[in-house]
Chain A
Amino acid sequence: MTDALLQVQGLTRYFDVSKPWLNRVIERSEKQFLTATADVSFEIKRGETFALVGESGSGKSTIAKMIVALLEPSAGTIRFDGQTMNFQSSAAMRALRRRFQMIFQDPFASLNPRWHVGDIIAEPIRTFGLLRGAAVMREVGRLLDIVGLSSADAGKFPHEFSGGQRQRIAIARALSSKPEFIVCDEPTSALDVSVQAQILNLMRDLQDEFGLTYLLISHDLSVVRHMSNRIGVLYLGRLVEVADGKKLFTEPQHPYSRMLLDAVPDLALSGRRRAQVQGEIPNPISPPPGCAFHPRCPLAFDRCRAEVPQPTPPPGGEAACFALGRSG
């Protein structure tokens, strides 16, 4: 057995974005598909935080939803603790579901506004039949305490809380089924920085205490650097680089990773001169052929326009690029 808790292999997801049938017939247009995730493979080790970064539309949430079984992959496999997830068998999925949970970006939308906070947190406990009777509310009180709220808050409604407190409630709920693995999709991007710090510190404390494994999704490179052991960089649905935590920041391999790092405004007042960032993200419905990054890449050459680069493993990480090692 390896120490990988999650293994994702060749994960792919298409969305049908065609016009309605009648329009297609009249306009003689083809069906159109958008590739949100293309052939993505990575592993997450037990107890680590693996992060996915990428700009809007790069496919982060699509991957997250497939991993927590909210969305079925078009191709590829997901193995959790050695067991391949079978989207056809609801009994098998149910057994797995208790072991992973998800925290979403918008702490308001993810909490039912008409339920008491106590019931929101208790729901997974009841669904999975983990506890009964008075023990349920005792556990809810304990969870509220862990996330820095109080057991008296169980009787309140979500709207009585601030954004940061609501995210704490969402975390308490995610913890209630005693999961091993939590997928956090932009857990702090709706929060203010002073509150973000509280939540990030809390996530780390909980990881230490309960040995949790995280998949952290964010577009904020500083947050990702602060939290992660390993980082995957996505561009237009493809994983272009996987690197060890801080190494991505000191020795980025892929030209897109370098460009992204260059673009981050720097609080350190180092006065560094940024390289000019080129172009914008292309339309995902008709991505450029070959390496999808080639129209913006300072190192692009003929081969990049024709062939899709596969990940090549340099020590400590991997990147998908034909020009690895060359600087630009």
Chain B
Amino acid sequence: MAEPLLSVRDLVVEFPTRRGTLRAIDRVSFDLKEGEVLGMVGESGAGKSITGAAIIGLIEPPGRIAGGEVRLRGERIDNLPPDRMRRVRGRRIGKVFQDPLTSLNPLYTVARQLTETIRTHLDVNEKEARRRAIALLDRVGIPAAARRIDDYPHHFSGGMRQRVVIALALCAEPELVIADEPTTALDVSVQAQIIDVLKEICAERGAAVMLITHDMGVIAETADRVAVLYAGRLAEIGPVRDVIKEAEHPYTAGLMGSIPTLTQTSDRLVQIPGSMPRLNAIPTGCAFNPRCTKVFDRCRVERPDPIDRGSGRQVACWLYDRAEARHD
């Protein structure tokens, strides 16, 4: 089997606080293949952003990676010294965050930001860098790119700024782009444009995408596979179609039923009682057990690890343990 582009194994991220250490990510493992789009979903606080930040080495101290490893084409990147990690970040992994203003420097023109990034990471002269920057801006859908490139970020609207950020994330030709809620701050009619552009260009350039969002609709239309996080743990991962149409983890199943859709006919939404636990009050055993309709004794004591379900699907739930099947 070919080596995965990105491999995350037993990742643990902790935040020391005055009242003890909070474990925001607790033994999360997954792979990303070359050119693949992996969706990462989960409710607020599930650990989506922290997972993304851990991969690109942007966990704010005193938070830290307290266990596990992250490999890019087999090479460990979770323990690199800061200057080497910075090179990986610009060159091999690009990032697109929710708020375009945090990714752009308001004091520099778009041209300067793009050409500097290109020239830091690729061996090209100023003229060539500018040519590439204009081509990329044009590709992400900025009208009159050759003229607009000399504008400052605040001259652009929200949607146009996010296009610039996508260009910036892609200009050093990375192998992987981590996009954390890239459209949440944008209007509905603009969101679809941005997701389309992101997906198309990454496909053209063979870049894999880790798309973090709480919008299942976006995942359904965009991702090849999806990982569902709950309370810092991986609940389920698998091909998008399988997970959406036949969710196996009780949490995923509840989540799917609770989302109103444009085609549903039932009057009531499926409702999961309660809400996701805080990090300082994660129940023992399966983190979902107080809300689960299928809970049984073992769930309250032992934590389920992801169980292989074939065709690339894994589900962290005791219902799918062989030993349990024998009991029935």
Contact = CB atoms under 8 A, between A and B. Distances in A.
Interface of A: 55-56, 162-165, 192-198, 200-201, 204, 219-223, 225-226, 249, 259-269, 274, 276-277, 280-281
Contacts of B159: 280
Interface residues of B, number: 47
B43 A265 contact: no
Most chain B CB within 10 A, of A223, A265, A269, is at A265
Contact of B188 (A192, A260, A276): A260
Nearest to A219: B188
Nearest to B267: A204
A196 B258 contact: yes
Interface centre among B157, B260, B270, B273 (most CB of A within 10 A): B260
Interface stretch (B7-15, B59-67, B88-96, B217-225): B217-225
Contacts of A201: 268-269, 271
A262 to B, nearest CB: 8
Given A226-B269, A277-B193, A266 B258 contact: no
Given A201-B271, A226-B264, A280-B160, A193 B214 contact: yes
A4 to B, nearest CB: 25
Contacts of A226: 260, 264, 269
B311 interface: no
Nearest to B160: A280
A280 B187 contact: yes
A261 B263 CA distance: 12
Given A200-B260, A266-B217, A268-B262, A193 B188 contact: no
B272 A194 contact: yes
A55 B185 CA distance: 11
B241 A194 contact: no
A225 B254 contact: no
A55 B189 contact: yes
Interface in B288-322: none
Given A222-B217, A263-B188, A264-B262, 8 more contacts: A192-B214, A192-B275, A197-B271, A222-B262, A263-B191, A265-B192, A267-B256, A277-B190
B269 A200 contact: yes
